[in-house]
Amino acid sequence: DAKTTQPNSMESNEEEPVHLPCNHSTISGTDYIHWYRQLPSQGPEYVIHGLTSNVNNRMASLAIAEDRKSSTLILHRATLRDAAVYYCILHNNAGNMLTFGGGTRLMVKP
Amino acid sequence: NAGVTQTPKFRVLKTGQSMTLLCAQDMNHEYMYWYRQDPGMGLRLIHYSVGEGTTAKGEVPDGYNVSRLKKQNFLLGLESAAPSQTSVYFCASSFGDLQNIQYFGAGTRLSVL
């Protein structure tokens, strides 16, 4: 399976934008890029996903590099409730499994 | 609409005891999954099911059994609990389509003494 690399932790100030990077240099053409987050003491929660084009939803934006070897999850205005571990995951149809790495722990300062 | 519900939320077992964790989903999803999460780690897949009556092994299946007798339920069993199975267990479900967005329960915190 293609792997992803994320920073272990990041800090942000409340109400400022946050850019969470993810490297996936061995991504295949059929891999979707998924982002999930896990708030403290909760199960993971789907955030956003994309294949080639940038994507926006009510929670976040996903910017995908032209060569697809990296992507960035963008939280436009971080709130204290956004403090969580964010997982970048590559997924294709084979087996329908998600492989979770270590993720990035986002800390939001008031 | 409850989504994915796990019971129980907490459990303490003694080594050698058995128990069953129940996962129920009300989204008519075909696929269901059991993961475990150890402290400071990401989730690892134990077993999964692609439909009623079917199950398959994931990354760390040893010591666990599963059953999917009804589409909405996925049971995870520990026949003889060991301290190494102390973990937080998460159930998830999905439509199993190409994009496979998974919806997770709140987790079961299990301690084996």
pLDDT in tens, A7-18: 999 999 999 999
Q: What is the mean pLDDT of chain B?
A: 94
B-chain CB neighbours of A48 within 8 Å are none
Contact B102 A42 (CB under 8 A): no
Q: Which residue would you say has higher pLDDT here, A3 or A108?
A: A108
Among A33, A85, A88, A96, the residue to mutate for chain B (most B Cβ within 10 A): A96
Query: CB-based contacts of B91: which residues, under 8 Å, 6+ apart?
Result: B4, B6, B21, B23, B25, B32, B33, B34, B35, B74, B76, B104, B105
Note the pLDDT of residue B96.
82
Nearest-by-CA chain B residue for A31: B99
Our CA-based measurement puts residue B77 at a distance from the nearest CA of chain A, in whole angstroms, of 20
Residue A94's pLDDT band (boundaries 50, 70, 90)?
low
Contact B43 A100 (CB under 8 A): yes
B-chain CB neighbours of A45 within 8 Å are 104
Burial class (CB in 10 A: 0-12, 13-18, 19+), A66: exposed
Q: Which residue would you say has higher pLDDT here, A31 or B15?
A: B15
Contact A96 B99 (CB under 8 A): no
